[in-house]
Amino acid sequence: MIEINRVNKVFYQGERAINALSDINLTIEQGTIFGVIGSSGAGKSTLIRCVNLLERPTNGHIIVDGVDLTQLSNKELSLARRKIGMIFQHFNLLSSRTVFENVALPLELAGVSNNAIQEKVDGLLKLVGLADKNDTYPCNLSGGQKQRVAIARALASDPKVLLCDEATSALDPATTQSILELLREINRELNLTILLITHEMDVVKSICSQVAIIGDGELVEKGPVGDIFAHPKTELAREFIRSTLDLSIPADYQARMTPERVAGSYPLIRLEFTGASVNAPLISQVAREFNIDISILSSDMDYAGGVKFGLMLAELFGTEQAAEQAIAFLRDHKVNVEVLGYVA
Amino acid sequence: MLLDSISSWWETNERLTYLLVEALGQTLTMVFASGLIGFALGIPLGVALHLSKEGGQLENRTLNKVLGTVVNIGRSIPFIILLVAIIPFTRFIVGSSIGTAAAIVPLTVGAIPFIARLVEGALLEVPSGLVEAAQAMGATPQQIVTKVLLPEALPGIINAITITLVTLVSYSAMAGTVGGGGLGDVGIRYGYQRFNGTVMMITVVMLVILVQLIQSVGDHLVKRVDHR
């Protein structure tokens, strides 16, 4: 449905050229929810803006629904854009128009008759759960409601593709979830292809089936969400996933920690579970088999795409020998174990 | 006491009263006629300035430069000089260089660049994200102007209209120079030149009330259309 072909984007800051995107290739199948994730400044916003040519790629091709947008005249491009909906981080609703009028705008632009507009907008507002807000102005809506209006507006011209530019980044976690739920529903009911960019891992985990990681303008990895999270192939991807999970050692532990084992101290370890780890109740097995008590300090485990992964900080209370055997056992089962130090 | 003196003066100076009423009419004619024509030409000019600037929807540096220079020249000529400097043009338009109709021409010419800059400023305040959203919906440049830029800038544009009308009231006082009449003219000729303090005061009070009215109506309208 969306094909991004060898796309480059160069910005000029005076004489200096900045490669915002370099040689991006991406194919997004009809009906998928595709996430692009990256830290700020990685180029993800530029990428999504290239898809509807809000930003014109320096070179390369953007093919949406079989049409190469980069080859169209301005007039043809305006028409093609009506089949590509877009929502934004800051909603971009017109303050001078009511909720109804905002949703009606794309239809007005397309010259749809008033009766048809009335019918269509009513249906859309019902779909996004704002049927009672017809005559309200956006300034009187909450962030989540504004994004719902924006979604309704984006769907008004029956697009085949929906672009979400950090659509949940300005919303609180609960509202984020409700918006994601709505997107999932739309994806299912209308078989709409959704491309979303975000810096929030949770967003990708909760609704995307495919994900691409972008860093410094380059696409470093792409694939099914579970694969990428469980078996990151590149260092950047691994770093990115860890950065969202990383567990730091509490300050008072840090203070009590020594690099060598002394009498009366126990190892503090970091366990990293990846998709390669043996899927078994390892913690309780270790406890039973090596007669060790395990105290979990903190843990960030997750489940996506059929695999468990995450990080855990734990103390192992037992004899020195038992602790070593336990660590060896865990490593045998493909859990990455790092001894951070010994805590008295 | 002041009120007493005014009301008794009112009764004994029928001719002057008539003169004042007539002057008020002339002031209103000058202000609103030049305002109306000024908006009709100044608003599109402001839109053109906004669209043609770097990064605008119809970016055109040369056009922007030319328009900007013309507007700046218009803004920098003192009104009293503009009034006499364009007398040939005035004569060409209304057939005479004297009278209320003749005063409307320089008032309009003075108002256009003023309005254009104010409108440009109002358009600049429309968040660029809104224009982008409209582009993403497939809006043509013309639709962006009529459906997004102008409606979203409306509070700012009404504010610009208010400021312009108030400025025109004070400019119109100078129109006496070309026999345009109006309250300012009465104030100068009867109040200042004939040492009639009461007439002077009445004209000033009338002008103050007029400006207050324009400002209140403007503020009220801004409040009604502003949903930001």
**Nearest-neighbour CA in chain A from B144: distance (Å):** 9
| A41 has pLDDT over 90 | no
* Inter-CA distances, A117 with A26, A56, A91, A92, A186, Å: 35, 31, 21, 21, 20
Collect all residues of chain A within an 8 Å Cβ-Cβ radius of residue B228.
Answer: 95, 139
Query: Would you state the pLDDT for residue B199?
Result: 87
Q: How many angstroms separate the CA atoms of B158 and B163, rounded?
A: 9
| Beta bridge partners of residue A304, listed in sequence order | A307
Query: Would you state the pLDDT for residue B27?
Result: 94
Cβ atoms of A233 and A275 closer than 8 Å: no
| Sole residue written with tokens 């840090």 | A254
**Nearest-neighbour CA in chain B from A87: distance (Å):** 8
Query: Would you state the pLDDT for residue B2?
Result: 67
pLDDT, tens digit, 9 for 90 and up, residues B65-87: 999 999 999 999 999 899 889 99
| B47 has pLDDT over 80 | yes
Collect all residues of chain A within an 8 Å Cβ-Cβ radius of residue B152.
Answer: 94-96
Query: Would you state the pLDDT for residue A25?
Result: 93
ipTM over 0.90: no
pLDDT, tens digit, 9 for 90 and up, residues A110-156: 999 999 999 999 999 999 999 999 999 999 999 999 999 999 999 99
Interchain contact, A94 vs B129, CB within 8 Å: no
Query: Would you state the pLDDT for residue B128?
Result: 92
Model confidence band, residue B153 (pLDDT cutoffs 50, 70, 90): very high
| The token pair that represents B209 in the structure block | 């009330």
Residue A67 contacts B where some CB pair is shorter than 8 Å: no
**Residue A105: which of B127, B132, B147 has the nearest Cβ?**
B147
Above pLDDT 70, what percent of chain B?
Answer: 99
Count of CB atoms situated within 10 Å of the CB of A285 = 14
Query: Would you state the pLDDT for residue A257?
Result: 87
CA dihedral B49, B50, B51, B52 (to 10 degrees): 50
**Residue B138: which of A81, A137, A138 has the nearest Cβ?**
A81
Interchain contact, A90 vs B129, CB within 8 Å: yes
pLDDT, tens digit, 9 for 90 and up, residues B192-207: 888 888 888 889 999 9
Query: Would you state the pLDDT for residue A204?
Result: 87
Of residues A30, A76, A22, the one with CA closest to residue A50: A22
Mean pLDDT of chain A: 89
Count of CB atoms situated within 10 Å of the CB of A324 = 15
Interchain contact, A88 vs B127, CB within 8 Å: no
Burial class (CB in 10 A: 0-12, 13-18, 19+), A125: buried
| B1 has pLDDT over 60 | no
pLDDT, tens digit, 9 for 90 and up, residues A225-236: 878 877 778 888
pLDDT, tens digit, 9 for 90 and up, residues A173-209: 899 999 999 999 999 999 999 999 998 888 888 899 9
| A42 has pLDDT over 90 | no
pLDDT, tens digit, 9 for 90 and up, residues A237-275: 877 777 766 677 888 888 888 888 888 889 999 898 877
| Beta bridge partners of residue A165, listed in sequence order | A88, A197
> Residues in chain B whose beta carbon is closer than 8 A to a beta carbon of chain A?
127, 129-130, 132-140, 143, 147-148, 151-152, 154, 225, 227-228
Query: Would you state the pLDDT for residue A6?
Result: 92
Range in B62-66, B177-181, B182-186 the model is least confident about? B177-181
How many CB pairs lie under 8 A apart between chains A and B? 67
Query: Would you state the pLDDT for residue A234?
Result: 85
State the alpha helices, DSSP H only, in chain A.
44-51, 74-81, 99-109, 114-127, 143-155, 173-190, 201-207, 225-230, 235-245, 251-256, 282-290, 320-332
Which amino acid is residue A168, in one-letter code?
A: T
Query: Would you state the pLDDT for residue A68?
Result: 93
**Nearest-neighbour CA in chain B from A293: distance (Å):** 57
DSSP 8-state symbol, A250? P
**Residue B137: which of A75, A96, A105 has the nearest Cβ?**
A105
Of residues A66, A86, A69, the one with CA closest to residue A162: A86
Query: Which SS3 state, helix, strand or coil, does residue B188 take?
Result: helix
Query: Would you state the pLDDT for residue A80?
Result: 92
| B8 has pLDDT over 80 | no
Q: What is the mean pLDDT of residues B120-148?
A: 94
pLDDT, tens digit, 9 for 90 and up, residues A6-39: 999 998 888 888 888 999 999 999 999 999 998 8
Query: Would you state the pLDDT for residue A305?
Result: 64
Query: Would you state the pLDDT for residue B144?
Result: 94
Query: Would you state the pLDDT for residue A163?
Result: 95
Q: What is the pTM of this model?
A: 0.82
Q: What is the mean pLDDT of residues B28-55?
A: 95
Q: How many angstroms separate the CA atoms of B154 and A327, rounded?
A: 70
Query: Which SS3 state, helix, strand or coil, does residue A11 take?
Result: strand
C-alpha atoms less than 13 angstroms from C-alpha of B68 in its C-beta half-sphere: 13
Query: Would you state the pLDDT for residue A240?
Result: 75
| The token pair that represents B43 in the structure block | 């608003």
Q: What is the mean pLDDT of residues A71-79?
A: 91
* Phi-psi map region of A68: left, alpha, beta (phi>0 left; psi -120 to 50 alpha): beta
| Rg, C-alpha atoms of chain B | 21
Interface with chain A: mutation pick from B131, B137, B140, B222, highest number of A CBs within 10 Å: B137
Q: How many angstroms separate the CA atoms of A107 and A153, rounded?
A: 9
